[in-house]
């Protein structure tokens, strides 16, 4: 490669642990030219974030250390620099956007003061000038009312705005290099589009180089100039963006791309990468990917592959010399159930309605003063209606704060509803309480977004799975045969029952959560963003498992997500939610194939495409989601709608129905 702003040469970052030396970064080399974006992709545990921390020289000590290699910034090696010198570079010439903004922002200091202190330290501005510049930066990253937001604390702003505050802080020193570690993970597609747009614009204006770390290949396809795939501490492939997506050369890269939901039709299994990333506290004799590779042969187990270069990049694989050894791709994989039988279809007439939600409202009172006087209500859910049949999946999509999770919790009777009804098999759950409600809880369960925080770290997995069974008095017979079968059913060894949650990977922990739900034999499962923070390979495993279990037990799913590619593959029907109300509802084919509501169109336009040749026109949604305390008069979406009419500002639109099961609330179709 040609010399760039940043040059990484044979970088090695190791950790000394009780289990031996962990080679987290093990001989990594790449260049990033000024004004270009270099994307680093791969599964969790491959060393991507540790590479970024090594560049910043923020490796956790004393266990971690940079063993060897060079980190050259404009020719200057950062490795031998003392900490005092690095403090002058961090936030000035090199800045970093961390993955989780809430834990990166100081909760007891206003967002404005956090930006101001960065400006005072690095740019040497006086307090007044620093405050003025901080407000300008908040406006630059698209935060509305920046003067008011300046004095707010991190907990008072949304996740998207916290991420934009992090970007403002990172850009305050006008860096030459910006490291963005998963900057859009778990963000809505609309906020993601805004942030990526902002980074592209600022990069063009300032000639800034960007190191983008992500597992979202759609984001990579739309933003990167060069792509590097990292596996088990080393880079296994680099290529120009278009060449990478057109012809990935390493089997690992091929597997990552083929595991995306957008590459499969409903009824086909997603491609999965068997096994997990190997532990990095061992010395590898051959290729690190060999035990998960469909093309591996004897040489792969015995000989470390050397780096082979080609016109648009390079690859670390024996196939570069022996292309005839490549495994032939499968033409089609049929989704099979947990016991191995092919998915069976059930006719519409045989499908029974399991859940019906009618005009559901959940309003939270706002109380003030000593006597807790009610001064208003947060209208989190404001009249939602939907139905789910046995063996079917309804996806609930929309921006953060629109009320999706509140709908799920209200259906499960985890929070009280203000009005409306939730009927399961004809029984209104809101009429049940105490023992009668507890007896029905085995019928409806939830899979939470974060598997680690929803599992008790002090309990063995076996005890976690037994807990719900005992509480709900589910009879599985004597012995633990059922427990072993349950673990095998979700793809885990029966020995897992003797281990703690922290001993498993993120995907395995999510499987434990699924097993915990299945242990009580439910009929309805609310899946609250179950794959949002998972790698694409692990996401494929979880989605395949959920599909198999649905086929076997005719489970009904309410699937809450912001990933519309997952909706297109996984769901049967989709409900688009905005500010507590459903604005469009229907089959996945009709809603995603022919969206009617301007909000749905905007969401779809913001979804990144895993095809660098495709050009899409993003429909911009200006501003943030209005407050549910005081929703706009008329159509709730009209302040942000590019097609708003005068009538939209006066009254809420009635429901318009189209051919088939497809309906929307929009004045564009009133009278049709």
Residue 523: inside a domain = yes
Could you tell me which residue, 56 or 671, shows the higher pLDDT? 56
HEC states along 145-158?
CHHHHHCCCHHHCC
Which candidate, 314, 266, 322, places its Cα nearest to that of 296? 322
Q: Is residue 9 part of a domain?
A: no
Supply the pLDDT for residue 189. 82
Within a domain: 342: no
Most confident of 112-121, 137-146, 156-165: 112-121
* Residue 672, pLDDT score: 54
32, pLDDT greater than 80 = yes
pLDDT value of position 350: 54
pLDDT tens per residue, range 575-626: 999 999 999 999 999 999 999 999 999 999 988 888 777 777 888 887 777 8
Residue 525 pairs in a beta bridge with 445, 557
Residue 422, pLDDT above cutoff 60: yes
pLDDT over 70 (residue 81): yes
| Contact predicate 354/556, CB 8 Å | yes
Q: Residue 333 above 70 pLDDT?
A: no
What is the pLDDT, as a whole number, of residue 348? Answer: 52
Positive or negative torsion for Cα 364, 416, 357, 574: positive
Listed residues 581, 599, 617: the one ending a domain = 599
CA neighbours closer than 13 Å in the CB half-sphere of residue 308: 13
Domain limit, last residue, from 174, 196, 222: 174
- Minimum mean pLDDT among 98-102, 461-465, 659-663: which range? 98-102
Question: Residue 671: its pLDDT value, please?
Answer: 57
CATH of residue 546's domain is 3.40.50.300
Contact assessment for residue 528 and residue 446, using Cβ atoms and an 8 Å cutoff = yes
pLDDT value of position 198: 82
How confident is the model over 287-327, as pLDDT tens digits?
999 999 999 999 999 999 999 999 889 999 999 988 888 87
- pLDDT confidence of residue 622: 76
| Residue 411: inside a domain | yes
Share of the chain above pLDDT 70, in %: 94
Closest of 223, 137, 129, 241 to residue 180, by C-alpha: 223
* 142 pLDDT more than 70: yes
Q: Which of 174, 196, 230 is the last residue of a domain?
A: 174
Residues 23, 17: Cα–Cα separation, whole Å: 11
The pLDDT tens digits for 156-189 are 886 667 888 988 899 898 899 999 988 877 577 8
Strand partners, 70: 9
Instruction: Kindly report the average pLDDT of the chain as a whole number.
Output: 88
Asked if residues 57 and 8 have their Cβ atoms less than 8 Å apart, the reply is no
Residues near 68 by beta carbon (within 8 Å), at least 6 away in sequence = 10, 11, 12
Identify whether 645 is part of a domain.
no
* Confidence band, pLDDT 50/70/90 cuts, at residue 99: confident
Q: Is residue 389 part of a domain?
A: yes
Task: Identify which of 118, 259, 336 has the alpha carbon closest to the alpha carbon of residue 566.
Answer: 259
Using an 8 Å Cβ cutoff, are 211 and 177 in contact? yes
**138-153 exposure pattern, b = at least 16 Cβ within 10 A, e = fewer:** bebbbbeebeebbebe
665: tokens are 């609330």
581 Cβ partners below 8 Å, 6+ apart? 382, 383, 384, 636, 665
Structural domains counted in the chain:
2
Q: What is the extent of the structural domain holding 134?
A: 105-174
The pLDDT score that the predictor gives to residue 72 is 96
Which of 568 and 478 is assigned the larger pLDDT?
568
- 618 Cβ contact list (under 8 Å, min separation 6): 193, 197, 605, 606
On whether residue 394 sits in a domain, the answer given is: yes
pLDDT of residue 342: 45
pLDDT value, residue 521 = 92
pLDDT band at 225 (very low <50, low <70, confident <90, very high): very high
pLDDT of residue 390: 95
Read out DSSP for 88-124? HHBTTTEEEE-S-HHHHS-TTS-HHHHHHHHHHHHT-
Residue 193 lies in a domain: no
């Amino acid at each position: 490669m040609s010399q760039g702003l940043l040059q990484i040469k044979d970088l090695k970052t190791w950790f000394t642990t009780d289990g031996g030396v962990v080679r987290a970064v093990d001989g990594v080399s790449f260049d990033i030219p000024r004004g270009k974006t270099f994307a680093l992709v791969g599964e969790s545990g491959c060393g991507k974030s540790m590479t970024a921390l090594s560049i910043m020289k923020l490796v956790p000590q004393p266990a971690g250390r940079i063993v060897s290699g060079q980190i050259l910034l404009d020719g200057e090696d950062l490795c031998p620099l003392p900490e005092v010198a690095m403090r002058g570079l961090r936030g000035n010439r090199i800045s970093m956007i961390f993955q989780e903004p809430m834990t990166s922002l100081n909760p007891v200091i206003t967002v404005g003061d956090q930006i101001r202190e960065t400006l005072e330290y690095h740019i040497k501005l006086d307090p007044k000038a620093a405050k003025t510049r901080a407000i300008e930066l908040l406006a630059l990253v698209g935060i509305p009312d920046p003067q008011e937001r300046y004095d707010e604390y991190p907990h008072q702003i949304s996740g998207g705005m916290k991420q934009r505050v992090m970007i403002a802080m990172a850009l305050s020193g006008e860096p030459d290099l910006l490291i963005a570690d998963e900057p859009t993970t778990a963000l809505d597609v609309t906020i993601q589009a805004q942030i990526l747009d902002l980074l592209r614009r600022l990069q063009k204006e300032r000639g800034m180089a960007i190191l983008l770390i992500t597992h979202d290949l759609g984001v990579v396809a739309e933003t990167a100039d060069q792509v590097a795939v990292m596996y088990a501490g080393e880079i296994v492939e680099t290529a120009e963006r278009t060449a990478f997506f057109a012809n990935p050369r390493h089997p690992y890269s091929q597997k990552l791309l083929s595991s995306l939901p957008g590459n499969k039709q409903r009824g086909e299994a997603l491609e999965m990468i068997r096994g997990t990333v190997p532990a990095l506290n061992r010395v590898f004799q051959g290729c690190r990917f060999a035990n998960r590779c469909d093309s591996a042969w004897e040489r792969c187990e015995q000989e470390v592959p050397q780096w082979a270069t080609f016109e648009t990049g390079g690859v670390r694989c024996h196939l570069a010399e022996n292309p005839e050894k490549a495994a032939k791709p499968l033409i089609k994989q049929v989704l099979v159930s947990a016991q191995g039988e092919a998915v069976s279809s059930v006719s519409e007439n045989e499908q029974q309605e399991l859940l019906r939600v009618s005009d559901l409202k959940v309003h939270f009172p706002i109380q003030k003063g000593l006597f807790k006087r009610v001064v208003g209500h947060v209208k989190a859910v404001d009249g939602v209606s939907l139905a789910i049949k046995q063996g079917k999946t309804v996806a609930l999509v929309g921006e953060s704060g629109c009320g999706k999770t509140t709908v799920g919790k209200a259906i499960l009777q985890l929070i009280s509803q203000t009005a409306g009804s939730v009927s399961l098999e004809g029984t209104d759950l809101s009429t049940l309480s105490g023992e009668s409600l507890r007896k029905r809880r085995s019928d409806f369960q939830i899979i939470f977004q974060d598997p680690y925080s929803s599992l008790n770290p002090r309990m063995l997995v076996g005890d976690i799975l037994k807990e719900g069974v005992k509480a709900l008095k589910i009879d599985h017979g004597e012995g633990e045969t059922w427990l072993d079968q349950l673990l095998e059913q979700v793809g885990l060894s029966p020995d897992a029952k003797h281990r703690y949650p922290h001993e498993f990977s993120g995907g395995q922990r999510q499987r434990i959560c699924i097993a915990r739900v299945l242990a009580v034999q439910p009929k309805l499962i609310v899946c609250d963003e179950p794959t949002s923070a998972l790698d694409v390979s692990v996401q494929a495993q979880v989605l395949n498992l959920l599909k198999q279990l649905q086929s076997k037990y005719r489970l009904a799913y309410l699937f809450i997500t912001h990933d519309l590619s997952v909706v297109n593959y996984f769901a049967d029907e989709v409900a688009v939610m905005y500010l507590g109300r459903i604005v469009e509802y229907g089959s996945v084919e009709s809603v995603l194939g022919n969206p009617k509501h301007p909000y749905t169109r905007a969401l779809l336009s913001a979804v990144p495409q895993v095809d660098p040749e495709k050009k899409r026109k993003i429909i911009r949604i200006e501003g943030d989601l209005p407050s549910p305390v005081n929703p706009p008069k008329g159509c709730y979406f009209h302040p942000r709608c590019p097609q708003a009419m005068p009538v939209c500002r006066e009254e809420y639109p009635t429901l318009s129905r189209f051919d088939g099961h497809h309906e929307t609330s929009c004045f564009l179709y009133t009278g049709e």
